[in-house]
Structure 1
Amino acid sequence: MLDPYQLTVHTLTLRQLASAEQLAEITGQPVAEVEAALERAAGEKTVMAARGNFMITPAGRALLDGVYPEAFAEFRSSPAVSDAMDSFETGVNKQVLTLTTDWQTKEVGGDRVPNDHGDPDYDAAIVDKLGRVVDRTAKVLRPVADLDPLVDRFLDRIGAALTRAEGGETDYVSGVRVDSVHTVWFQMHEHLLRLTGRERPE
């Protein structure tokens, strides 16, 4: 697994521009630990500071490319993890992408138009389907989560966003300015790809 410094740099591949607090929210690390890692990383030029936020540099990506094979060797050699990822990519991930499209648009007269969220029954049906897919995802990814507790943290954050969406906060389905279901799902997917050395499907 990654040490705290490596994990902090890694987290900037999941969220491209972030503060120490935002990175700590993703990983569950103490903020002080993340701040110390960022200070070191800035000194080593693996991250770059930008008005209180940070972003990874090419040197940071090179660092991670060097440490991933050893740090994640157990994931990359596990048949159970490989099977779980196959199921994830061909099943629940495609379903979430489809539901996100259905949330953002709807069919009217045979054409796809932006969803103005004026039909609460339509929106509620999609949120309900998302909930069922998220429940299945926890089972699909269990072999990965058993090796990496961060996967469960992603699923908990997705669940929290779903709860807010169920309460009527529609931004928490696919909004980009909040930790929405779609935003956190994207972060989790990127993390899984880096764990397993896979490429993002086209």
Structure 2
Amino acid sequence: MSATSPPDLLALHAVRVLGYATTANVGSRAGLEEAVAEELLLDAQAAGWVTWSRFADEGGWSLTEAGKAHGERLLADELDRSGARARVQQELDGFGPLNDLVAGACTRWQLTELGIARPPASLESVLADLVRAAVGLAGIESRLTAGLARFTGYHARFTDAVDEARHEPSWISGTDRDSAHRVWFELHEDLLATLGRPR
């Protein structure tokens, strides 16, 4: 049976995976109402686990070192309680080839957009690699969510981004949207954080 994560873990982990995020983004990522996410983040701030900062006109949350350590303790406890440690470890161990496929496709496209790829990558070839990765991701998510429900959603977000990229290529690696690259980066960070591994 798939384990459901407690809200405080989901909120703190969302900050870890997103890196720097608004309250609304944390709530969306964690599957929590924004008001609930705000309350949990304020509690975490009082405990010294997250900090709020502002850049230009936008503010966001980020983890402190104490928050990172506390989050990893929560994640380790969740793995032990759910019995999902071996499952997550197996998925991370087998992640390399698909990760290389996505990283390679995104890099080729970024270099092509900058005009320095030799030869330039075609949009069709990049999308073909991302579609192959999406097929693999479906299996990864299915196996992970059999143990931990919080891994749900990566496949849908990734395939949505790839579909959008057919008409607007900035969905491949854009930093201003839920691009294929961003979704994949979050998944990789999620796997590493869950097992307490550095990037």
What's the TM-score, normalizing by structure 1?
Answer: 0.82
1:145 shift after superposition: 2.1
Q: Which amino acid aligns with 1:156?
A: A
Contact 1:27 1:153 in 2 (8 A): no
Percent identity between the two aligned chains? 25
Residues 1:196 and 1:141: Cα distance change in structure 2 (over 3 Å): farther
Contact 1:158 1:185 in 2 (8 A): yes
Task: State the partner residue of 1:129.
Answer: 129
Contact 2:141 2:154 in 1 (8 A): no
- Consecutive unaligned residues of structure 1, counting only runs of 5 or more, are 107-111
Which of structures 1 and 2 has the larger relative contact order (alpha carbons within 8 angstroms, sep 6+)?
A: 2
Counting matched residue pairs gives 187
Q: Which amino acid aligns with 1:43?
A: A
Matching of residue 97 in structure 1 with residue 100 in structure 2: no
Residues 1:199 and 1:47: Cα distance change in structure 2 (over 3 Å): closer
- Consecutive unaligned residues of structure 2, counting only runs of 5 or more, are none
Partners of 1:35 and 1:187 lie apart in 2 by: 21
RMSD in angstroms over aligned alpha carbons?
Answer: 2.3
Partners of 2:145 and 2:8 lie apart in 1 by: 21
**After TM superposition, what 4+ stretches of structure 1 lie above 6 angstroms from structure 2?**
none
Partners of 1:145 and 1:174 lie apart in 2 by: 26
Task: State the partner residue of 1:158.
Answer: 158
1:18 shift after superposition: 0.7
1:97 shift after superposition: 1.0
Residue 177 of structure 1 aligns to a residue whose secondary structure is coil
Task: State the partner residue of 1:75.
Answer: 84
1:114 shift after superposition: 4.5
